[in-house]
Structure 1
């Protein structure tokens, strides 16, 4: 459209008109040289009278032509008796006229239908026609001008004067290059029906004001041009009769004049409301390109522009995001979040920033871990670091340091020690290695091996309890072993863990108790090969006391015992104590025996505590000291070492240096020993009973009497009757 102009004009007072058929008539829409069917949206209601004139009648014939048109438009008309004096009004009037501008001998001409006339005559005829209708209100004229010669600008003043002469409130002039042969928009029907006032076009106040009509018509004309409609005006003008935007042009009817138009507007309004909440630019564009009345057109156009802006912003943001999404630091990502408009990638950016910050923290922790491992020469830590590092900023340094540590002599020695311990399946050796290693290059392997051995030890625990050494929680004497129970327990452990050194060695004691010394020695040897300390002591004891018809090998016993003793085995120390105290090893005597006994006594070995007390009692390898002897004997007794009872009782019988006599305590110790079947107590209270003090004998007689064995008089005299009662008591204990 070249021009949409709003020109205010002065409309002359309406002219007197012919008498019509009624005092107040319907809304009239008169077509002059135009087809009423063009732009008509379906059927028309009774409140709209549509009249059609083929041309613009001469001024003096206007009344007759209008009367004829009124008669044709009404099936039944009622006239007053004297029509000349009636002065009746025909109702509101709007016009639709098709004209063409031409050139004649006298200048510009206006062609209406088949008539051609000058501009002055056009004005007088138009004024006469409007006046002939004697309308209550002269409303709007829609003038469609064909102007192939572009004469309209020169004729504008005269045309405006002609329109003003008709007294119309508003004139809409639409100028085209030629008469349109296609369908033309029905602006006139829309205005007459009151659409400019209807929501969402106007304020729904019940009247179409000049302002509402101007805005609605201007948008419709502009829409046709924008779409390239076949009959769109090249340019248009809206001529207003005055400057009052509130002037009423149409009273909106309560009953729709054109139901089909109302239905179409309703459906379009519904679709527009839906599209106002949509981001589908294509759907909005399709609606705006195809709608007939286009409610909410401005809002939809604004939304379409907003969608376009957002799409452009999204394209720009996408470009920015694609360029920064792989950034290794969060700086650019944070700038994006601080400045983005749509922030379509906020979630990804925040996740990336969180990941980068976590990665930076993890990297710092990883590097700090390396520094810690390197400073401590922690070979396992360095190896683990290399295997699990993510950033690996110090991978080369770590690899070099690992190689350096592995080449170190101390590392190789540690590895050899651990290898030996693991080959022997020796938990104690592995524990010692873990406690004493400096480089600890195979710490993980050592811990895993120790854990596995602990599992095996747990499986072997019932076996050890049934046949192991006292230090391991087993029976002290071979005779105390329950062979059936021990074999079952050890067999179960070996079935679960074949070659378990604890179970193998304990089973050797079972074989020795059964008299199969060969099998016992084989079992002890297996334990020795596994590095089990207890196996050395058992093998040493077997060499020292091989049993009937076998020759003792004291040197082998010492060799084995020395190794076991060095490994912390108590039995090995006991064997050495006996060998040395009896002078069975050349160059070794009581002093060496006492030193070993004292060391193991301090370690808590009850047998060694007995030996330490015994050496102090007889003054062998150390000074004779009854008080020291009592102290060690008491420790051994407290731990349940039965043999110590009789030796402690002997001191309490008479008392000694620094020790007061305590016959009651002595008798109590003897009695405990008798209950346990101790042969020393038995001998002293039978064959040696005469040497016991009377007070001690009296206590023993009392206890025997309480046990229902002694029926004699409690006189403290150790005679044959008392000795016999002791024998019977011991025999009963053995039976029970």
Structure 2
């Protein structure tokens, strides 16, 4: 069978790893310490991992020499490799080319039978019998005169599959060369593969198989380390389906001692760039040893050149895969049982799981099921009660907090039904109005009377806010607010400095507190700062404070400082304020209408407003109602009704009503008998309270009072120590002067 031609390469690596054995003189240099590589009919750079160290010498042999020409060819190659060579000639080696360790790389093609020699071998384009191949190979190794014949890498192209049948002949041809390890690699034709073939010989000669983490890093690559390295490298190329990888390989040991040293490395690396690349891969592999990212580990194993910790990373990747598989199995089981309404299967999972990835969820589920069982009866009873009472907030809360949740779907349906109930919109509208009016009483009433109570949380939050702000503003309102709020009636009664401090504290706690802002407006008005006062009332009205409308209306009705009153503007504000429940607004309207300051409105409208608020318990309105009945303004004159409403105002502490009620009792009225004692005591109570009307009637108008009434006043003045005259029922200057002295003493307290 004709031999197939192919481009082959034959190279030897000469490493002087042991002392030169031949005799030498002091002035003759040996080859000790030098390293030589020999390439035949091939590119010396194929597979070389970067630039070699300076002492590395490269030899090139054009062909596998005949047995008798080997010495001459080797000598010629040695001479060509260096400008100046020194070596010793010995009787056994006329060339004097004794070398250290020999490593051989040979490319060949197995061909068909050649006569009686069987399978032929083609090397460097020359075909020869297997016997001739063996003889020439041995002659070459002998000519190189190595101290130790270490490794042979024979890369075979076998297009006709002769390798298995020719294995015995190959061993007979290779064994006489005496290599400690021979690697037979059967692969594709070197001329057709793409890329460089695996440079196993370079990495092994560079000491990589001995370096950590591949070997024990003692500077000596043993046969065991070398075989492990070569096997891993070849298997990796096959696994990656490298274009020039061997299809199959065979490692032959020429020495049975696994500790035989095949490579010794010195202090300097033979291939620095290879060392750098190995260092980087070591760093990456150490990082990946702690990684749980199987894909990242796989990417490294698929692309690494030297692959440190390959077996550990492969095991780690397998461990991750097994864990992922176990996790997927557990997930499948957990997805099936996680919705169980009894703990049985969940407990089995906890007792038998390996990874137990769902332990926390399983334990929580068991706890939940136990809690659900315990809560089920009470929870279901509560649901039924909530449905029966149309308690929308309660149902929403039940859905959010239920444990057993037996009626969860029914609860959601009930919520949806109630949310579409027309009463919800009506209640929310009423609540909105109460909140906008800042009326805590109305909000509280809404909470007490709502049926569906969809806005319960909003209502409670608004009520809490109103109560908190009202409580914070209470001292401020008491210092500067209206009488209906517990404050002074007259602006002149406000202690401006103390009131400002009190209101400032309320505003510090709740900036913009509308109650405090409105009260501050009264302080500004008392100080004559009408612009600031009106701005405060505007802020109060914008916040929905009812009293702010009355104050703003009153400031337009009686602006002071020579400013023209705006009766229509006052009416508009007062109407809105009264709608919001503010009596000061009603008082402004009562005055405007009773004095007929608004077109189309008169005493009848004033009396109607006064009566409405009087019946609601407002003492000022009660006074106005009594007064209207007394003089017959807007209502028929009726002294008995006048007494009823004026007495109601007096009972509620509205001192201004005292003098008007006393006037009726002075002379009596229709259906009301005169009672001087009652009249006198009413005047005296008003005088004690500093009422200017009582002071005027008992001083400048004392002579208009009936004698029995004057006698009561004189007696009281004597008891107070301000009157030394006779209690004779006659007014006069002495009695009037005593009244004024007493009034001054009361006002000065």
TM-score, with length taken from structure 2: 0.49
Computing the radius of gyration over CA atoms, which structure comes out larger, 1 or 2? 1
